């Protein structure tokens, strides 16, 4: 009986979790992207867009649509910029597959502040409205994983104090 109760409780809690975020991604052609988003992308970044996605999410009863441009910067790093339907820029995320590609000041700060962890990878997130750079770092100690946010100088930032689109980007990233 206790096992059945635990199973039913787990099933109910899973339903609550699934109900909080409904997310879909669809590849779209440039013709299906609002002209405002294309114009903001062209004004913000010189690199040619490789592909566009339309992301739809329903989180906590709020429907959100974002258009995401994928392009290559500095010949190696993939960047994804996110826009609202009316073309407002939200975030641009550059992915660094390995820790060695991150700026030295960021690597040094992670090593100093988390000496028991190893820095595995990270992203530079530009909060487009203010041009603020925020680094999201992934660290590991054995099986334990840790995600932290730091500024350009490696100073840790509290997740609760970050602009909402930066945190939303983490939830909606591929």
Domain boundaries in the chain?
A: 18-172
Q: How far is CA 82 from the centre of its chain?
A: 10
Residue 172 is predicted with a pLDDT of 57
Q: What is the CATH number of domain 18-172?
A: 3.10.450.360
Q: Maximum distance among all alpha carbons in the chain?
A: 63
* Contacts for 104-108: CB closer than 8 Å, 24+ residues apart: 105/152, 105/153, 105/154, 106/135, 106/137, 106/150, 106/154, 108/154
21 versus 160: which is more confidently predicted? 160
d(CA 128, CA 23): 23
- pLDDT tens profile 53-105: 999 988 777 888 999 999 987 766 778 999 999 999 999 999 988 899 999 99
d(CA 70, CA 80): 5
How many CB atoms within 10 Å of residue 42?
Answer: 12
- pLDDT tens profile 6-49: 344 444 444 444 445 577 899 999 999 999 999 999 998 888 99
Q: Residues 32, 49: contact at Cβ < 8 Å?
A: no
- pTM, two decimals, is 0.79
């Amino acid at each position: 009986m206790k096992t059945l109760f635990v199973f039913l409780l787990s099933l109910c809690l899973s339903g609550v979790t699934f109900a909080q975020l409904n997310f879909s991604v669809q590849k779209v052609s440039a013709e299906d992207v609002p002209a405002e988003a294309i114009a903001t992308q062209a004004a913000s970044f010189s690199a040619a867009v490789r592909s566009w996605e339309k992301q739809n999410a329903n989180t906590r009863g709020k429907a959100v649509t974002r258009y995401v441009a994928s392009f290559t910067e500095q010949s190696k790093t993939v960047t994804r910029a996110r826009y609202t339907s009316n073309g407002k820029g939200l975030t641009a995320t550059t992915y660094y597959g390995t820790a060695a590609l991150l700026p030295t000041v960021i690597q040094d700060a992670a090593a100093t502040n988390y000496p028991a962890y190893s820095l595995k990878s990270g992203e530079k997130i530009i909060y487009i409205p203010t041009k603020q750079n925020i680094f999201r770092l992934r660290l590991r100690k054995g099986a334990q994983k840790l995600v932290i946010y730091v500024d350009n100088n490696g100073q840790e930032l509290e997740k609760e104090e970050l602009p909402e689109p930066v945190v939303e980007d983490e939830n909606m990233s591929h």
